[in-house]
Amino acid sequence: MVLNTHSPATVSTMSYAEAAVLAVQHAMTEDANVVVVGEDVGRGGIFGQYKGLQAQFGDQRVIDTPISEAAILGAGVGMALAGLRPVIEMRVVDFALCGMDEIVNQAAKNRFMFGGQGRVPMVVRMPIGIWDSSAAQHSQSFESWFAHLPGVVVVCPATPQDNYSLMRAALQCGDPVVYMEHKTLWGVSGEVDTAQTATLGKANTLLSGKHLTIVSWSKQVQACAAACDTLAAAGIEAELIDLRSIWPWDREAVLASCARTGHLLVVHEAVQVGGFGAEIAATVAEATACKVRRLGAPRIPVGYAPNLEAESRVSVEAIVAAARKFF
């Protein structure tokens, strides 16, 4: 683990949701061009990720909208082109599918198609992952879709600290950022150091090990950490890397780790077929002699019933079993 070397005065314990609120609040205080747009943002958002912001900044900067994802995203693109830095709320990534044209054909393409005359510096918040007992239309992980899209940055914070630091970095980025928080991490608490910065595209090595590299992101990092404890008890020392940014992703950190350990396991909550784990595995296989495996969800819709939902989860036991296949 990386030790915190910042002043204690900048450190406090807060939830993943509170960290995001604080990051947006700080950005809005520093820059009058930062605005929030979306459904339910005035009352704090469905996860409390905007709590108190409308009371502080007013309804001209924290703007409630009708239920139309295409209109919300279209307005965000226009605001960004006009010089604002909008934070666009999609509630959950599943709903963002209604506004895909505005992301794919407008936000992602503008800088390229107009020779850099226009920029779209907006942050689109699209919570991903299995939402407990919420079934197939509210439990999807689409980070690989957006990684495939030239012109956007893709971020998946796993901790309260990263949800502060990466949000701050995303709001300073000059390009559209697809910001994918996990739907069930909002209440998770941890220390947040507001002096700690993050660089988009820079991974975080959480554990050091000599036998195996495990790469993951978002909530699945928690399961991987638990699996590393189990593996350590069996004498297998795993190096755990939280990728944090899906695009750009930290090739250097991953390749360096794999060169040391000789074994790579990529783990994600998204469906394994066509998942971003395949990109990492292929890149490592092409560049090193490392043995590679990947582990993701089966290609099935997430069920509502608990026993069906469990079939779509990548468990600690499954991670341990996949890792043991190397040895």
- Residue 228's alpha-carbon distances to 1, 77, 293, 319, in angstroms, are 13, 42, 16, 9
**Long-range contact set of residues 79-84: C-beta below 8 Å, sequence gap at least 24:** 79/35, 79/37, 79/122, 80/107, 80/119, 80/120, 80/121, 80/122, 80/176, 81/110, 81/118, 81/119, 81/120, 83/33, 84/33, 84/34, 84/35
Mark whether 138 is an active-site residue: yes
Diameter over CA atoms, the chain:
59
Quickly list DSSP for 51-105: TTHHHHH-TTTEEE--S-HHHHHHHHHHHHHTT-EEEEE-SSHHHHGGGHHIIII
Peptide bond into 248 cis (omega under 30): yes
Q: Which of 6, 26, 138, 182 is catalytic?
A: 138
Of the candidates 132, 89, 182, which has an alpha carbon nearest to the alpha carbon of residue 302? 132
Rounded distance between C-alpha atoms, residue 17 and residue 247, angstroms: 23
Residues carrying an active site annotation: 138
